[in-house]
Structure 1
Amino acid sequence: MLKVLWLLLNIFLILIIFVRVPNNSGLSSFATKSNLLGSPNSAEKTLNKLTWSLIFGYFVLAIKFNLET
């Protein structure tokens, strides 16, 4: 069950990183085209928190799987 959760976390983390725009404007170009994530600042903050939470979860599960073997 944890391996399935880890796989889903990996896929979602890859997708969330691809959503980020690499230039300095961040998500402002995306947020001005659609009101899906609210203002560009709140969208950027939300994606930052989500990304760091997923990275933390990834490392916790990776350490757990490494200690099992």
Structure 2
Amino acid sequence: MLKLIWIIISLILIGLIFVRTPQNQGIGSFSTKNNLLGSPSSAEQFLNNLTILLIISYFGFALILNFSN
């Protein structure tokens, strides 16, 4: 059961990483970006928090599965 949860988390993480577009599109975006030091939108902040939570849980399950064998 833990291994299935670990696999699902890894697939969700892979999907999130591929779906997310990069913030900057090269050096030219620095001149056009007006909120360089501002906070991200609420949706982007939610995706950042979700990604961090999934990464932490992924490593947690990896440690649990590694030490259970």
- Name stretches of at least 5 consecutive residues in structure 2 with no aligned partner: 26-39
Note the C-alpha offset of 1:63.
0.5
CA drift of 1:12 comes to 0.3
Decide which structure has the larger Cα Rg and report it: 2
Q: Which residue of 2 aligns with 1:6?
A: 6
Greater RCO between the two (CA within 8 Å, min separation 6)? 2
- Computed over aligned residues only, the root mean square deviation of the Cα atoms, in angstroms, reads 1.6
Q: Does 1:53 align with 2:53?
A: yes
The structure that is helix-richer by fraction is 1
The SS at the match of 2:41 is helix
- Which structure 1 residue ranges, 4+ long, deviate > 3 Å from structure 2? none
In 2, Cα distance between the equivalents of 1:15 and 1:55?
Answer: 13
Q: What TM-score do you get using the length of structure 1 for normalisation? A: 0.72
> TM-score normalised to the size of structure 2?
0.72
State the identity as a percent: 47
In the TM superposition, residue 19 of structure 1 has moved relative to its aligned partner by 1.5
Q: What are the ranges of 5 or more consecutive residues in structure 1 without an aligned counterpart?
A: 26-39
The size of the alignment, in residue pairs, is: 55
- 1:11-47 residue CA offsets vs partner (Å, 9 max, x unmatched): 001001112102427xxxxxxxxxxxxxx71111010
Q: Is the CA contact (8 Å cut-off) linking 2:16 and 2:51 kept in structure 1?
A: yes
